[in-house]
């Protein structure tokens, strides 16, 4: 599933050939995505796209009197192709840009969506309920501490709640908790503020590192080769249950927490 770093990498990869350019043609081959592709999409021909923003795992493209809202769902990707490149299976939408490249949406499972929001996108219900961006100024240890008081939920589930902070998927939650030395099962409301400072710092670090590594795949957007897939990161705990901890050598333990697989080190995390 595309996580926040993949979406941010997509934004950076497509922006130079989409933002500031006009939409010359819209081709929709499949309208049935998570929601039906609105006919408003075809009405955007001739309009210029503004600066592309990301909010959580949504991409927002200002155009005409509103914004295009994209979400990649479980298996979606946006890539740039040369004009005339034949569509592959599951290439559902093309925006032919005046930059002479095609912005092409590919999604085998069709859980992604594109919608047109007229007016202020911040008022849209899908965006209004979201917590702060993990790499933004509104996020930090104080925010996590404040939001966690009185919460009995496990800290891992707490930081994966998009109303608390957006974009902390299962991999990043597991890795950040390891770096911060916090047991994923610990009750969110019983963690001290100094430990939340370390956790917020760790969340920023793992996400920033993933975005940084995504930068090396940007050339793929131009040529149309490859996709913004899963970045090969050096993972300390995720997917390493039963293997030795890289720090203390103890066997990493696998558990299920909030219906998600979780791995942690019983020596380093408490």
| Residues found near Zn ion in the complex (CB under 5 A) | 245, 247-248, 265, 267-268
What minimum distance in Å lies between the beta carbon of 221 and Zn ion? 38
Of residues 18, 40, 20, the one with CA closest to residue 28: 40
Q: Which is nearer to Zn ion, 74 or 247 (CB)?
A: 247
Q: Is 261 within 8 Å of 240 (Cβ atoms)? A: no
The enclosing H or E element of 14 equals: helix 4-18
Within the chain, what is the greatest distance between any pair of CA atoms? 61
What minimum distance in Å lies between the beta carbon of 179 and Zn ion? 11
Using Cβ positions, the residue closest to Zn ion within the complex turns out to be 245
Distances (CA, A) of 144 to 38, 70, 97, 128: 38, 28, 42, 19
79 known member of a binding site: no
Q: Which is nearer to Zn ion, 17 or 238 (CB)?
A: 238
Q: Which is nearer to Zn ion, 121 or 184 (CB)?
A: 184
Q: Is 73 within 8 Å of 34 (Cβ atoms)? A: yes
Determine whether 156 is an active site residue: no
What minimum distance in Å lies between the beta carbon of 227 and Zn ion? 34
Whole-angstrom distance, CA of residue 5 vs CA of residue 207: 6
Tokens, residue 194: 């100094």
Kindly report the backbone phi and psi dihedral angles of residue 117, in degrees, each rounded to the nearest multiple of 5, phi listed first: -105, 115
Determine whether 244 is an active site residue: no
Q: Which is nearer to Zn ion, 77 or 269 (CB)?
A: 269
Whole-angstrom distance, CA of residue 186 vs CA of residue 153: 8
Kindly report the backbone phi and psi dihedral angles of residue 138, in degrees, each rounded to the nearest multiple of 5, phi listed first: -80, -5
Catalytic residue among 48, 204, 253, 260: 260
Whole-angstrom distance, CA of residue 161 vs CA of residue 52: 25
Dihedral angle sign, alpha carbons of residues 145, 149, 151, 153: positive
What minimum distance in Å lies between the beta carbon of 268 and Zn ion? 3
Catalytic residue among 55, 57, 79, 104: 57
Determine whether 3 is an active site residue: yes
198 known member of a binding site: no
Q: Which is nearer to Zn ion, 143 or 186 (CB)?
A: 186
If you count DSSP H runs as helices and E runs as strands, how many of each does the chain have, helices first? 7, 10
Q: Is 70 within 8 Å of 85 (Cβ atoms)? A: no
109 known member of a binding site: yes
What minimum distance in Å lies between the beta carbon of 237 and Zn ion? 9
**Residues flagged as binding site for DNA:** 90, 109, 151
**Residues flagged as binding site:** 90, 109, 151
Active site residues: 2-3, 57, 260
């Amino acid at each position: 599933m595309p996580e926040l770093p993949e979406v941010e990498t997509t934004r950076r990869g497509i922006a130079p050939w989409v933002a500031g350019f006009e939409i010359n043609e819209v081709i929709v081959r499949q309208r049935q995505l998570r929601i039906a592709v609105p006919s408003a999409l075809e009405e955007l021909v001739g309009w210029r796209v503004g600066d592309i923003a990301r909010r959580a795992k949504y991409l927002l493209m200002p155009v005409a009197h509103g914004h295009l809202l994209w979400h990649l769902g479980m298996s979606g990707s946006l890539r740039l192709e040369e004009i005339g490149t034949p569509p592959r299976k599951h290439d559902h939408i093309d925006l032919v840009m005046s930059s002479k490249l095609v912005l092409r949406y590919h999604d085998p499972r069709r859980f992604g969506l594109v919608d047109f929001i007229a007016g202020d996108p911040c008022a849209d219900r899908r965006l209004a309920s979201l917590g702060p961006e993990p790499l933004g100024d509104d996020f930090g240890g104080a925010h996590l501490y404040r939001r966690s008081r009185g919460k009995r939920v496990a800290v891992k589930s707490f930081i994966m709640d998009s109303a608390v902070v957006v974009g902390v998927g299962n991999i990043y939650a597991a890795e950040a908790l390891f770096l911060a030395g916090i047991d994923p099962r610990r009750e969110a409301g019983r963690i001290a503020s100094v430990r939340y400072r370390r956790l917020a710092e760790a969340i920023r670090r793992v996400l920033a590192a993933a975005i940084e590594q995504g930068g090396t795949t940007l050339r793929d957007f131009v040529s149309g080769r490859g996709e913004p897939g899963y970045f090969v990161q050096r993972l300390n705990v995720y997917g390493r249950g039963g293997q030795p901890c890289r720090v203390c050598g103890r066997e990493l333990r696998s558990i299920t927490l909030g219906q998600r697989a979780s791995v942690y080190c019983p020596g380093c995390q408490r």
